[in-house]
Structure 1
Amino acid sequence: MTIPRLLPAREVVGGYEAGYHFVMSQTKNMTRPGPTVRQLVQVAKAVGHPARLRLLAMLEGRTLCVCQMTSILELASSTVSGHLNELRRSGLVIEDKQGKLVYYRRDPSSPLAGVITDALALVNDDEAIAADRALIDRVRAVPIELLSRAGLNLAALGIKRHRARSSART
């Protein structure tokens, strides 16, 4: 979609030193409508909890089972499911049920997907988020049946975790 923008003339036509002109410029994200105020408030509430930010960071570029995320966060399964439901209601994640297992992934079509990606980049160096990311590949390598038999206890599977000293632990 093209929208008019006011740009300095030197950016429009080389050689002009002053003046402004309206130009038609292509914008990438204008193909879908922007978020409503209600959507923005709902998303702000959803990301307003450290565990939900950690979940969004874990789901960046991957799909995970609730049990995998539960084992990483070391929270009750019902707590993790509640956080994921809040993220789903806000339109940030997509749920995929496969039998008894429930998988989640980030929703790239969310009007606020880019904002969430940018926000997560700001906390990319957070110790808890970094520790979670360090565990993800090792946890994904464990068959879900084995993870469940171990009671979602990573130590019982020989997977060591690095303790984070962050406020993101809940």
Structure 2
Amino acid sequence: MRDLLAITKALADENRLRAIALLQGRELCLCQIVEVLSLAPSTMSKHMSILSRARLVESRKEGRWAYFRLADSDAPSEALQALELVLASVKQDKQAKADQQQLKQVLKLEPEELCRKQASCK
């Protein structure tokens, strides 16, 4: 029950759903997610922490960069089912489509450029 509560609470925010959609099929630096969602780095970091605690995303640090990806097959089945539902649901969402288009532009930039712009990696 505890896992299910953490998952449902984590999914009860539009920005976290948008972040999950961005991570489909890829790993992203926090600064890339910040750039697409136009949120403060500290706010996005908190959102990603909530998703991590719910075991919906996994993270790794590389130097001063934090990278995130969707949970893999080691995650609880509830988390994997929730991710499947979210990803299927946002497929046709107008905002999610706009986020994907913006992500294409963001991926052309190096994380160092984004960090200088945002100060998210300091």
Letter in 2 for 1:108: D
Match of 1:133 among 94, 100, 105: 100
Query: Quick one: which of 72, 80, 99 aligns to 1:113?
Result: 80
State the SS of the aligned residue for 1:60: coil
| CA-CA distance at 1:108 after TM superposition | 1.8
The Cα shift of 1:136 comes to 1.6
The structure that is strand-richer by fraction is 1
Separation in structure 1 between the aligned mates of residue 45 and residue 71 of structure 2, nearest angstrom: 17
Which moved further from structure 2: 75-84 or 114-123? Answer: 114-123
What is the CA distance between 1:114 and its match in structure 2? 3.0
Aligned counterpart in structure 2 of residue 84 of structure 1, from 32, 48, 60: 48
Q: Find the counterpart in structure 2 of residue 69 from structure 1.
A: 33
User: What percentage of residue pairs aligned between the two structures are identical?
Assistant: 35
d(CA) in 2 for partners of 1:151 and 1:141?
16
Of the two structures, which has the highest relative contact order with CA contacts closer than 8 Å and spacing of 6 or more? 2
Partners of 2:97 and 2:40 lie apart in 1 by 21
CA deviation profile, 1:34-54 (whole Å, cap 9, x unmatched): xxx110111000000000000
For 2:86 and 2:59, locate their aligned partners in 1 and report how far apart those are by CA, in whole Å.
22
- CA deviation after TM superposition for structure 1 residue 97, in Å: 0.2
Give per-residue Cα distances to partners, 1:62-116, cap 9 Å, x unaligned.
0000000001000100000000000000111111100110000001222221332
Q: 4+ residue runs of structure 1 moved beyond 6 angstroms?
A: none
SS at match of 2:45: helix
- Matched residue type, 1:45: K
Q: Which residue of 1 aligns with 2:111?
A: 144
Give the TM-score normalised by the residue count of structure 2: 0.88
Whole-angstrom distance in 1 between the partners of 2:50 and 2:110: 27
- Whichever residue aligns with residue 49 of structure 1, its letter is D
Q: Whose Rg is larger?
A: 1
Q: 2:62 aligns with which of 93, 98, 103?
A: 98
1:94, 1:127 → 2: CA distance?
A: 26
1:47 aligns with 2:11: yes
Q: Decide whether the 8 Å contact of 2:7 with 2:82 is kept in 1.
A: no
Contact 2:31–2:118 (8 Å) recurs in 1: no
Once superposed, what is the RMSD of the aligned Cα atoms? 1.4
